[in-house]
Amino acid sequence: NAGVMQNPRHLVRRRGQEARLRCSPMKGHSHVYWYRQLPEEGLKFMVYLQKENIIDESGMPKERFSAEFPKEGPSILRIQQVVRGDSAAYFCASSPGRGDQPQHFGDGTRLSIL
Amino acid sequence: AQTVTQSQPEMSVQEAETVTLSCTYDTSENNYYLFWYKQPPSRQMILVIRQEAYKQQNATENRFSVNFQKAAKSFSLKISDSQLGDTAMYFCAFIGAQGGSEKLVFGKGTKLTVNP
């Protein structure tokens, strides 16, 4: 009975490289959310997706960041040409989409930029 | 825009005692949901308790309970019989229930230390 699965747990990239973070939602969940947590801060919303659709990307930087949730396979958060400021923990959450059902979080991906 | 404020950056409590963490929020919506999440040193995000705004009864989950004051927009968390495993960051969070985006809005967190 797997929960939200994120991989990798830790990712190290050099400045200018690309980072790809993956998230498989809980079984039966069709809504995926990405959040970013900077050191010593709370989580900040980035993007909300349903299968093949971006519903709300108001929290995502306009450049270098993109997200997808294809019909088959996990949701991907992609960061191109990473910079030091991208170092953070990136959390994925999923829900069945009903407002009364809480979002369940994965263990996060810790991205470190050298 | 909704905001969530946690005014206590850090708190400590002795094992077996009771502690209350504060949270206030701002919204123009009438129906919404409130949550407390726990983030232990392992940095997982664990749902502790949730409250639906249209329910007047305060939610409880074992040793965890909330004091929800809708008019004051206050949502405090009470932890009874504190245990060492309760040591963690605690985040208060809000989500609107009126459709559209379902993004959680988090406070900055309260770091709770339970001392033996």
Residues of B in contact with A107 (CB under 8 A): 42-44
Is residue A6 a contact partner of residue A23, using CB atoms and an 8 Å limit? Answer: yes
Mutate to test the interface with A, among B101, B108, B111 (most CBs of A within 10 A): B101
Under an 8 Å CB criterion, which residues of B touch A? 33, 35, 37, 42-47, 50, 52, 91, 95, 97, 100-109
Is residue B73 a contact partner of residue A13, using CB atoms and an 8 Å limit? Answer: no
pLDDT tens per residue across span B46-71: 999 999 988 889 999 999 999 999 99
B-chain residue closest to A5, CA distance: B44
pLDDT tens per residue across span A7-43: 999 999 999 999 999 999 999 898 999 999 998 788 9
In this predicted structure, the answer to whether residue A1 has a pLDDT above a threshold of 60 is: no
Structure tokens at B116: 């033996």
How much of chain A, in percent, has pLDDT values that exceed 90? 79
Is residue B105 a contact partner of residue B24, using CB atoms and an 8 Å limit? Answer: no
Q: Quick one: DSSP state of residue A26?
A: P
Residue in B55, B45, B100 with CA at minimum distance from that of residue B75: B55
B-chain residue closest to A43, CA distance: B106
